[in-house]
C-alpha cells in the first residue's frame, strides 16, 4: 500500500501543477459532463423517435441502431481519429472522447426514454382526450409521470455504466484515474493487485453511491402509477 | 474524403478482418457460456434460503456491476501472474494467456448482469404455482426443475439478447491487454497501411453485421419460445 499512499496527489490530480488537471478529479468531471450531455442527446433522440413525422423518426432510429451495433471502443476510434480528419474540425482528445461517450450512451438513453413513453398504454391518452384535456395537459399530467417512473431505473443503470466507461479514455492517453493506475503499475511493476484493487475500489464507491442515489429517486417517484410490461428493446 | 473500397476488399485486409472476426466470435461464444454459468450461479445464490449464500451472491453481483470492465481486466491480467506460477494454472496459460484472461473476466462481469436477468425471471414465476406444486406433493428440487425452469426461457430471453450483444461488444476491450480480436486487427491494418478510415469502416461494418445476426437469432428464439 505505500506505493498508493505515496502517490495520492498523482491519483487525485494527475500532473496538475505541471500539466493539465487529471486523476480522480478529471474522471468525476468527465462523468458529470458526459452524463449531462448524454442525457440531453438521449432526450433529443428519444423525442425524435416519437415524432409523428416518419423521416425524423427514421433518422433517430437508424442513428441509434448504428451506434448500438458497435462497441464503444470502435465508436470512440471514429470520434478520436477519424472525425477530425473527415470534418477538419480540430478537437482536443478530451473533447472528442467526451462527445463520443455522450453520443454513445445518449443513444442508449434515447432507447430507454422511447420505450418508457411508449409503455404508457394508449388507452390512457385516449381517456385523457375523452375527459376533455388538451395535448400538453395529457403529456404533463398523464403520460410523463408514468413514463418517468418507468424510465428511472434504466436511466440510473445507464448513468452508472457511463461513469464506469469513462475509464476507456485511458486507452487514448487521457490522464484520468484509470490511466494513472496503469502508469503507476508500469512503473512499480510488482503491485498490480494493490493498484488495480485500489482503482477498482474507488470506481466502486462512486458507482455504488450513484446506484443508491438512484434508488432514492425511484422511491420518490413511487407516487406515479406503475406501468406494466415495460422492457427496453435491444 | 473518398473511401477506398478496393482496399477494403483486398485479400490481405479481408484475411486480417476474418481472423479478428473469428477470434471475436469464439470469445463471444465462450463468454456467453461463462456468463450464463456465473449468472445462473449468482441468481441461485441470491435466491438461496441461507443468509450467507445470499450475501455471497449479492456481493458478487454488486461488485462486478460497479467496477469498470477495464479495471477488472487489468487487475486479473497483471495480478494473476503475481499470485501463481504458470505451471500451477495450466488451463489459464494454455494457448493464449491474454485471451483466456479476457474470456474469464468478461464472463465474470457479464455473469453479474446475467444473474440479475435470471433472478428477475425466476421471481416472475407466480408464487401460487410454486405453492400449488409443493401442495401437490412434489419436492422443492422437482418444483424448480419441472415448474420454474420450463417457464424461464420466454421471460429471460429479451434480457439475455441484449446481454449477448453487450458481451460481443465487451470483447473489444480485450485489445487493451493485447488480444488480437476484431478491433485490434483494425488498428493493426491502420498502423501498417495508414488507411485508418478504410480499416475502421471494415471493422464497423463487420460488427454491425455480427450484431445484426445475433439480434436476428435471438429474436427468432424468442418467437419460437413465445408460441408455447
Query: Is A233 in a helix, a strand, or coil?
Result: coil
Contact B66 A171 (CB under 8 A): no
8 Å CB contact between A214 and A149: no
| Residue B79 sits at the chain A interface (C-beta within 8 Å) | yes
Instruction: Work out the number of other CB atoms within 10 angstroms of the CB of residue B220.
Output: 10
Between chain A and chain B, the number of residue pairs with CB atoms below 8 A apart is: 117
CATH code: domain A2-220 is 1.10.3720.10
Nearest CA among B46, B68, B48, B49 for reference residue B58? B46
- Residues in chain B closer than 8 A to A72 (CB atoms): 169, 172
Q: Could you say which residues of chain B have pLDDT below 70?
A: 1, 226-228
Burial class of A200 by CB neighbour count within 10 A (0 to 12, 13 to 18, 19+): buried
8 Å CB contact between B162 and A234: yes
Closest partner residue to B66 (CB to CB) among A82, A170, A208 is A208
Q: Domain limits of chain A?
A: 2-220
* Cell numbers that stand for B25 in this block: 466470435
* Cell numbers that stand for B168 in this block: 460481443
* Tens-digit pLDDT string for chain A (234 aa): 677 777 777 777 777 777 777 789 999 999 999 999 999 999 999 999 988 899 999 999 999 999 989 999 999 998 888 788 777 888 888 889 999 999 999 999 999 999 888 888 888 888 888 888 887 888 888 888 888 998 999 999 999 999 999 999 999 988 889 999 999 999 888 888 999 999 999 999 999 999 999 999 999 988 888 876 554 443
Closest partner residue to B74 (CB to CB) among A68, A182, A190 is A182
Give the E-state strand segments of chain B in sequence order. Answer: none
What is the spatial distance between Cα B184 and Cα B188, in angstroms, rounded to a whole number?
6
What is the spatial distance between Cα A172 and Cα A84, in angstroms, rounded to a whole number?
15
CB within 8 A of B110, min separation 6: which ones?
Answer: B31, B32, B34, B35, B38, B39, B163, B166, B167, B170
What is the spatial distance between Cα A125 and Cα A142, in angstroms, rounded to a whole number?
7
Alpha-carbon distances of B36 from A123, B157, B162, rounded to whole Å: 39, 12, 13
Instruction: Work out the number of other CB atoms within 10 angstroms of the CB of residue A192.
Output: 23
- Residues in chain A closer than 8 A to B212 (CB atoms): 69
8 Å CB contact between A174 and A97: yes
Angle at A157 between CA B52 and CA A107, to 5 degrees: 155
pLDDT for residue A232? 44
Q: Domain limits of chain B?
A: 5-226
* Cell numbers that stand for B50 in this block: 441461507
Mutate to test the interface with B, among A70, A81, A189, A215 (most CBs of B within 10 A): A70
* Cell numbers that stand for B192 in this block: 501498417
- Residues in chain A closer than 8 A to B168 (CB atoms): 71
- Residues in chain A closer than 8 A to B176 (CB atoms): 171
Query: Which of 1.10.240.10, 3.40.50.670, 1.10.3720.10, 3.40.50.620 would CATH assign to domain B5-226?
Result: 1.10.3720.10
| Residue B101 sits at the chain A interface (C-beta within 8 Å) | no
Length of chain B, please? 228
| Residue B162 sits at the chain A interface (C-beta within 8 Å) | yes
The complex's ipTM works out to 0.89
Q: Name the closest residue on chain A to residue B82, using Cα atoms.
A: A190
Q: Which of residues 111-140 of A touch B (CB under 8 A)?
A: none
pLDDT for residue A233? 40
Alpha-carbon distances of A134 from A129, B56, B139, rounded to whole Å: 7, 52, 57
Phi and psi at residue B10, to the nearest 5°: -70, 155
Q: For residue A171, what is the DSSP state?
A: G
| Residue B136 sits at the chain A interface (C-beta within 8 Å) | no
Contact B65 A72 (CB under 8 A): no
| Residue B204 sits at the chain A interface (C-beta within 8 Å) | yes
| Rg, C-alpha atoms of chain A | 21
Instruction: Work out the number of other CB atoms within 10 angstroms of the CB of residue A13.
Output: 18
| Residue B203 sits at the chain A interface (C-beta within 8 Å) | yes
8 Å CB contact between A147 and A119: yes
Query: Is B179 in a helix, a strand, or coil?
Result: coil
| Residue B178 sits at the chain A interface (C-beta within 8 Å) | no
| Residue A87 sits at the chain B interface (C-beta within 8 Å) | no
Contact A73 B173 (CB under 8 A): yes
| Residue B223 sits at the chain A interface (C-beta within 8 Å) | no
| Residue A82 sits at the chain B interface (C-beta within 8 Å) | yes
Residue ranges of alpha helices (H) inside B84-139 are 90-93, 97-124, 127-135
Amino acid at each position: 500500500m505505500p506505493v498508493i499512499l505515496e502517490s495520492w496527489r498523482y491519483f487525485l490530480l494527475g500532473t496538475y501543477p505541471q500539466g493539465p488537471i487529471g486523476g480522480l478529479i478529471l474522471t468525476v468531471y468527465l462523468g458529470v459532463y458526459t452524463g449531462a450531455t448524454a442525457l440531453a442527446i438521449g432526450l433529443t433522440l428519444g423525442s425524435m423517435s416519437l415524432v409523428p413525422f416518419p423521416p425524423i423518426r427514421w433518422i433517430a432510429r437508424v442513428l441509434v441502431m448504428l451506434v448500438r451495433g458497435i462497441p464503444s471502443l470502435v465508436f470512440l476510434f471514429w470520434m478520436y481519429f477519424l472525425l477530425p480528419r473527415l470534418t477538419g474540425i480540430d478537437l482536443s482528445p478530451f473533447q472528442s472522447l467526451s462527445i463520443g461517450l455522450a453520443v454513445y450512451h445518449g443513444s442508449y438513453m434515447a432507447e430507454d426514454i422511447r420505450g418508457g413513453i411508449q409503455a404508457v398504454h394508449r388507452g390512457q391518452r385516449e381517456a385523457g382526450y375523452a375527459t376533455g384535456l388538451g395535448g400538453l395537459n395529457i403529456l404533463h399530467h398523464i403520460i410523463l409521470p408514468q413514463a418517468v417512473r418507468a424510465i428511472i431505473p434504466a436511466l440510473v443503470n445507464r448513468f452508472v455504466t457511463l461513469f464506469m466507461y469513462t475509464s476507456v479514455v485511458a486507452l487514448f492517453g487521457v490522464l484520468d484515474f484509470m490511466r494513472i493506475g496503469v502508469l503507476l503499475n508500469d512503473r512499480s511493476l510488482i503491485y498490480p493487485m494493490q493498484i488495480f484493487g485500489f482503482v477498482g475500489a474507488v470506481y466502486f464507491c462512486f458507482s455504488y453511491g450513484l446506484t443508491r442515489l438512484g434508488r432514492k429517486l425511484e422511491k420518490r417517484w413511487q407516487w406515479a402509477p406503475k406501468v406494466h410490461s415495460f422492457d427496453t428493446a435491444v | 474524403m473518398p473511401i477506398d473500397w478496393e482496399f477494403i476488399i483486398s485479400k490481405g485486409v479481408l484475411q486480417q478482418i476474418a481472423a479478428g472476426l473469428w477470434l471475436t466470435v469464439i470469445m463471444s461464444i465462450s463468454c456467453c457460456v461463462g456468463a450464463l454459468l456465473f449468472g445462473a450461479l449468482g441468481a441461485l445464490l441470491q435466491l438461496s434460503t441461507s443468509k450467507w449464500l445470499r450475501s455471497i451472491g449479492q456481493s458478487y453481483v454488486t461488485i462486478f456491476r460497479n467496477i469498470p470492465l477495464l479495471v477488472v481486466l487489468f487487475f486479473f491480467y497483471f495480478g494473476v501472474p503475481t499470485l501463481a506460477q504458470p505451471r500451477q494454472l495450466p488451463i489459464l496459460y494454455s494457448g493464449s494467456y491474454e485471451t483466456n484472461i479476457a474470456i474469464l473476466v468478461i464472463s465474470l462481469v457479464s455473469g453479474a448482469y446475467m444473474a440479475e436477468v435470471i433472478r428477475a425471471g425466476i421471481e416472475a414465476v407466480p408464487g401460487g404455482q410454486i405453492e400449488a406444486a409443493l401442495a401437490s406433493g412434489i419436492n422443492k428440487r422437482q418444483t424448480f426443475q419441472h415448474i420454474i425452469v420450463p417457464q424461464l426461457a420466454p421471460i429471460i430471453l429479451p434480457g439475455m439478447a441484449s446481454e449477448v450483444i453487450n458481451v460481443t461488444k465487451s470483447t473489444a476491450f480485450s485489445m487493451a491487454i493485447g488480444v488480437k480480436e476484431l478491433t485490434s486487427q483494425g488498428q493493426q491494418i491502420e498502423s501498417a497501411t495508414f488507411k485508418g478510415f478504410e480499416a475502421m469502416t471494415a471493422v464497423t461494418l463487420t460488427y454491425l453485421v455480427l450484431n445484426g445476426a445475433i439480434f436476428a437469432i435471438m429474436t427468432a428464439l424468442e418467437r419460437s419460445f413465445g408460441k408455447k
